[in-house]
Structure 1
Amino acid sequence: MIVTVLGEIPAAELGRTDCHEHLLIRGGLPIVLEPDFALDSVDAAVAEVGEFLAAGGAALVDCMPLGVGRDARGLVEIARRTGAVVIATTGFHKDRYYAADHWVHTYSVESIVELLVSEFTEGLEVSGYGGPLVQRLEARPGAIKVATSGPVPTPTELRLVEAAGYAQVRTGLPVLTHTDDAGSADVQLSILAGCGVPPSSIVFGHMDRHASVSALAELCAAGASVCLDWMGRHDRRPDEYIADLVASLASRGHLEHVVLGQDLARRTYWHAYGGGPGLANLMESFPALLRKAGLTDDHIDQVLVGNPRRVLDRMETPPA
């Protein structure tokens, strides 16, 4: 089953999916550091998700974790108003997005594991455990996020990744990662595997930004999946680059380990805030580029539907 903010659905019901997105960022240190991250309007998100659905999309994974601007109530409202399948995440972002006095820097791994597991068993905590009261929704997370900074994670990040790994073993939720470079994935895989997380439950994010085809293929061969999600940055590189990466991985026999996203975590990327390319880009424009790169409609359905169904399907019997 796949856990959405409105309840569980059978994996077979999941449609075309954006596996790495940001629908709301409200509060937290990220928007202090970068005001363009302030995706603060539910109405804007409803309009933007409406365009995504009209273009053929069906589901989005919101990758804002604890303490950095996640709006759990807002995600539920977006899902109810649009009919989109919205999947929330628990877990953590990079060290730099937490203030020096935030509890992530001092809580034990064991305590953090309990906080993550409780989000799954009892419901999303509205403030991201910002206190002093704990307020939960019925909505639960469908994935766990982890993040590291470059090839050498900070001590806080190492603890948070470890806690996420142990939480995965207890919940069966997939782990979605943020990587800053190709080496980040190797470090994350080592830590998570050491906690007992099966590679099939790990999706390494942002890998099209910095990893070679051979590096991506190695992760896929290990049983993990990679999320290619830097499309729409036409001022930096064409989306054809990502389409060619998908085709290259397909030619090496690794298409089943590829999912797609957009990571449009800036106002300037959204039509609803006056920017672009907009959330609809993945469904509206990218399939044509995949066909141009030599992929068939069946291949496209695999990366947009089949693979997300597999990686987001919670393990019903987590490993002992």
Structure 2
Amino acid sequence: MSYIRTMLGDIAPDQLGFTYSHEHIVCRPGHWKDRNVDDLLLDEPIKSQSDVEIFKRAGGKAIVDATAIDYGRDVYAVQSISKNTGVHIIGTAGFNKSFLWDSLRPGSTETYYEWIERSSIKQLANFVVDEVELGMENTAVRAGQVKFGTGYNTISPLEEKTLRAVAMAQHITKAPIHSHTEVGTMALEQIVMLKEEGIDITHLSIGHMDRNPDTYYHLKIADEGAYLCFDGIGKVKYYSENVRINCILELVKRGYQKQILISGDTARKSYYKSYGGGLGLGYIIEQWVPRFIEEADEAGFDGKSLIDEFFIHNPRNNFTFKK
């Protein structure tokens, strides 16, 4: 039986609906909290919920919360937002990247770095399995994907360790697997390691592909069967929407429209409307989608059909547990 695991329980894949594939809803990353970087603390659940409500009113049905344990999850707060709004939210097991691992684990006197360093790959894998099958952080709220991350143009030994642990956990749980890439780098190297672990790359989505707007690179990743997550929508400080849309349409031209996911990675107060004036969770549906449809139609494609692929069909396929 196929299913998608949300923070409120398992649902049939066709119940998922219009989905953002990589967001952050409530999080207090220790690395940034210790440095008093307030913009990176999404620490007021009622404000986060207000933006989720905007998303729902615009037609959104589901959000993937990509916040792993080392990025300061608040499992119950996010589950409550799901209950209160009726929006499906998928939680994330696993890890982010070593850059963040200098903070203390909750309820522990050791840092994430120290914990990962002293643990075996099997021990870390068992931790991830438990987050999927039992619940995250001693709750009964189960994760719906597993995650690892790597750094900018490098994969540290401990990042490789978590990658292989997450791969082991994926074999056991059959959960979809997601990777963080720093500035869109090291995706092909990640794929090599995952294939060494026997992972079916069609179960993998790779984040932050629009931070590295290189069509040749994107095509090489798509050739491997992975989903490419363009999750920086609205962040013109990196690239204009024209650059992102052109990268997406280049993939579509080669027939890879079924491997594209779209989202905003809203991990700052300044990205949220309800925290004080950012574009917010409504932006993609309300403004980016109409623009994409217009540009896709002008390029000779059926823009509406592509939007259905990116936000409905592809998330449904990617986030389904494949037994």
Short-chain TM bin: over 0.9
Maintained 8 Å contact 2:71/2:96? yes
Q: Which residue does 1:300 correspond to in 2?
A: 307
Q: TM-score, structure 2 length as denominator?
A: 0.91
1:137-286 equivalences in 2 (<5 Å): 137-286=139-288
User: Is residue 2:310 matched to residue 1:310?
Assistant: no
Distance 1:310 1:182 in 2: 23
Distance 1:233 1:183 in 2: 18
More moved, 185-194 vs 1-10: 185-194
Number of residue equivalences: 306
Q: CA deviation at 1:151?
A: 2.3
Q: TM-score, structure 1 length as denominator?
A: 0.92
CA-to-aligned-CA distance 1:25-69 (integer Å, 9 cap, x gap): 125223334321100111011101000111111111111101320
Which 4+ runs in 1 deviate beyond 6 A? none
Q: Return closer, same or farther for 1:290/1:28 CA change in 2, 3 Å cut-off.
A: same
What are structure 1's unaligned runs of at least 5 residues? 126-135
Distance 1:151 1:58 in 2: 35
Q: CA deviation at 1:183?
A: 4.1
Q: Return closer, same or farther for 1:298/1:209 CA change in 2, 3 Å cut-off.
A: same
Q: CA deviation at 1:233?
A: 1.5
User: Is residue 2:101 matched to residue 1:98?
Assistant: yes
Q: Which residue does 1:119 correspond to in 2?
A: 131
Q: Return closer, same or farther for 1:31/1:108 CA change in 2, 3 Å cut-off.
A: same
Q: Secondary structure at the match of 2:147?
A: strand
Q: Secondary structure at the match of 2:70?
A: coil
* Letter in structure 2 aligned against 1:23: I
More moved, 260-269 vs 145-154: 145-154
Q: CA deviation at 1:259?
A: 0.5
Distance 2:145 2:249 in 1: 27
Q: CA deviation at 1:237?
A: 3.0
Distance 1:281 1:115 in 2: 36
CA-to-aligned-CA distance 1:176-229 (integer Å, 9 cap, x gap): 111124541012111112112101110010011114112111111211110001
* Letter in structure 1 aligned against 2:150: T
